[in-house]
Amino acid sequence: MTTEPTPVPSAPASAEPEMLTGSGAIIRTLELLGVTDVFGIPGGAVIPLYDELMTQTKIRHILVRHEQGAGHAAEGYASATGRVGVAIATSGPGATNLVTAIADAYMDSVPLLAITGQVFSTSMGTDAFQEADIIGITMPITKHSFLARTAAEIPAAIASAYHIASTGRPGPVLVDITKDAQQNLAPFIWPPKLDLPGYRPIVKAHGKQVQAAAQLLLAAKKPVLYVGGGVIRAHASPELLELAEATGAPVVTTLMARGAFPDSHPQHLGMPGMHGTVPAVLALQESDLIISLGARFDDRVTGKISEFAPNAKIVHVDVDPAEISKIRLADVPIVGDARDVIADLILAWADVAQGAATDTAEWWTYLHGLKEEFPLGFTEPTDGLLAPQYVIQRIGELTGPEAVYAAGVGQHQMWAAQYIKYERPNSWLNSGGAGTMGYSVPAAMGAKVAEPDRVVWSIDGDGCFQMTNQELATCTINNIPIKVAIINNSSLGMVRQWQSLFYDGRHSFTDLNTGHGTAMVPDFVKMADAYGALGIRVTSKDQVDDAIKLALATNDRPVVIDFIVSPGAMVWPMVPQGVSNSFVQYAKDHAPTWGEE
């Protein structure tokens, strides 16, 4: 990503700067930055801004039903396109309702611009009505925050925030603007000077470090390209494909990187980690060289870190120097943008390899054996209910790789990562680091606004869906026809799985009563109808395809399909938390019963 200020058109030349209200300056600045869509909901401290929004036509405002929905919609918009997502909220509880989405964007490196109203500058610090120190509250979960107390400060604050959010390691930036700053007049100066002396992201890597990485790769017998979400954020998928094919190294893609490398490619081993494929997990664990590209050695990938990949040298590539050696000491640290670094590594590889191939034949023989011995699969439930894996697999097969799939958090998230084939970047959206329930529906809504010509699925759980389903009203009113697949196991499924495995089956407070027996609270089909969506319930395997096809054919309103699935279905494979990833025997012992409780 570039470290230069985002190029914007110059304002029309005039003898004197135009006088604008602060609210007018907000809108004009967003227009000049290229923003075309924003998500938000008004309140007392942003009434001036909303009054101005009503009179303009260049920016589409999507009125959400909850500020958290605005934040996740802006995340979905950004994750589907790579553009900065914008969310607007009022002061106090409006701003604090954005906090979860801001934290989510921070963990997953999503470029997000949050604009919040603040009480009058003369009232700050007095515990005025709906006053909250949102800058202090969000300090640990933003790249930076700005407070604009005057109208004149607004253009530079928003332009600086946009630049910070979209460069280096992307992330959320908050601009808090007092109500009097929105109301008062000031000359609109464009382009503003971005005074950011402490912000200098490193994009170009040190050449000697890249050469050292290429030398290690040439000498390796068991190399692995460990690909994280940073490759997607850097738009580096074409370069990754070229590097992989040039070196012949196997590739694993983390939960955040699904789609960065085509699932159909023969060098792809799948997703590593707690619920990763056996070949991907063991490839990392038994490697002698890990080239980490935009990944951060998350605990869900490494398992017990002291026992992770004990024989591997580490090349760690990341645009954020704070991530280098934070968890696993890097033998070759490389700070830089993933796209630029991979491009440099391709050239360095060509220089050191001189047309020679890596000596990895034995390594690939072993990995191919793992793929044959441990294919991803599931068994049919014995309770007569649907297998959730089958449902999700059919959604992917009938819809195809050009769609966008936004998952909630839990079992359905892992199954969606496992059983849908991803062939392109930005097709898989989920809450990886924060694990935010309620992410899926608003994120899908934001993605559909950004990519109106693509099919967008929200794959959600019955627990997650009940946290943000009010945004179905937003979708219906604004003609945003997303498809929602509720994987309804009538419980908080992932928590229930842990209770089954580690708490002797004591399912404490995880039964949601949404899909089994005589009571359905709520009835999701009736709820869909109440929101103006098409509601469908599927209870048998022979109904699955027809329901999905009907959803795909319905584009005049949102669609909600309530798939009644088995509560006993589990996510396999599974490496228990805090356990070493050396689990060949564990996998062999459990392979015959994957999918059964």
Q: Which of 405-409, 437-441, 569-573 has the lowest mean pLDDT?
A: 569-573
Q: Pick the range with the lowest mean pLDDT from 26-40, 261-275, 457-471, 480-494.
A: 480-494
Q: Is residue 110 part of a domain?
A: yes
Q: So what's the pLDDT on residue 367?
A: 97
The reported pLDDT for the residue numbered 11 is 54
pLDDT in tens, 523-565: 999 999 999 999 999 999 999 999 999 999 999 999 999 999 9
**Mean pLDDT taken over the chain:** 93
pLDDT in tens, 204-231: 888 999 999 999 999 999 999 999 999 9
Same domain, 151 and 297: no
Are both 320 and 449 inside the same structural domain?
no
How far, in Å, CA of 377 to CA of 570, rounded?
A: 12
| CATH assignment of the domain containing 265 | 3.40.50.1220
Integer Cα distance of 68 and 470 in angstroms:
11
- 264 assigned to some structural domain: yes
The lowest-confidence range among 107-111, 557-561, 586-590 is 586-590
336 and 418 in a common domain: no
pLDDT exceeds 50 at position 313:
yes
Query: Do residues 40 and 144 share a domain?
Result: yes
Do residues 86 and 176 both lie within one domain? yes
Task: Tell me whether residue 359 is in a domain.
Answer: yes
> Is residue 459 one of the residues assigned to a domain?
yes
Q: What is the CATH number of the domain that holds 28?
A: 3.40.50.970
**Selection from 340, 328, 303, 68 nearest residue 204 by Cα:** 340
Question: Is 419 a member of any domain?
Answer: yes
pLDDT above 70 as % of the chain: 94
Which residues are known catalytic residues? 67, 129-130, 179, 494
At residue 380, the pLDDT reads 92
Same domain as 492, residue 455: yes
* Structure confidence at residue 588 (pLDDT): 44
Mean pLDDT throughout 94-110? 98
585: in domain: no
Average pLDDT over residues 500-510: 86
Mean pLDDT for 26-52 is 98
pLDDT of residue 450: 98
Identify whether residues 393 and 542 lie together within a single domain. Answer: yes
Confidence (pLDDT) at 5? 44
Residues 395 and 481 reside in one and the same domain: yes
In this structure, are 218 and 366 located in the same domain?
yes
3-state SS, one letter per residue, for 192-217: CCCCCCCCCCCCCCCHHHHHHHHHHH
- 477, pLDDT greater than 60: yes
* Residue 576 is assigned to a structural domain of this protein: no
Number of domains the chain is built from: 3
126 and 158 co-located in one domain: yes
Q: Is 314 found in the same domain as 404?
A: no
Confidence band, pLDDT 50/70/90 cuts, at residue 583: low
Please report which confidence band the pLDDT of residue 594 belongs to, taking 50, 70 and 90 as the band edges.
very low
Domain boundary among 161, 188, 215: 188
Residue finishing a domain among 373, 398, 424: 373
Average pLDDT over residues 305-331: 96
Query: What is the average pLDDT across 440-454?
Result: 98
pLDDT, position 595: 36
**Boundary of a domain, candidates 133, 153, 188:** 188
Residues 341 and 408 in one domain: no
405: containing domain: 388-571
Per-residue model confidence (pLDDT) at position 9? 53
The answer to whether residue 292 sits within a structural domain is: yes
CB under 8 Å, gap of 24 or more: what pairs does 379-384 form? Answer: 379/593, 379/594, 379/595, 379/596, 380/595, 381/565, 381/566, 381/568, 381/569, 381/595, 381/596, 382/568, 382/596, 383/566, 383/568
Residue 133 has a CB neighbour count (10 Å cut-off) of: 14
pLDDT value of residue 4? 45
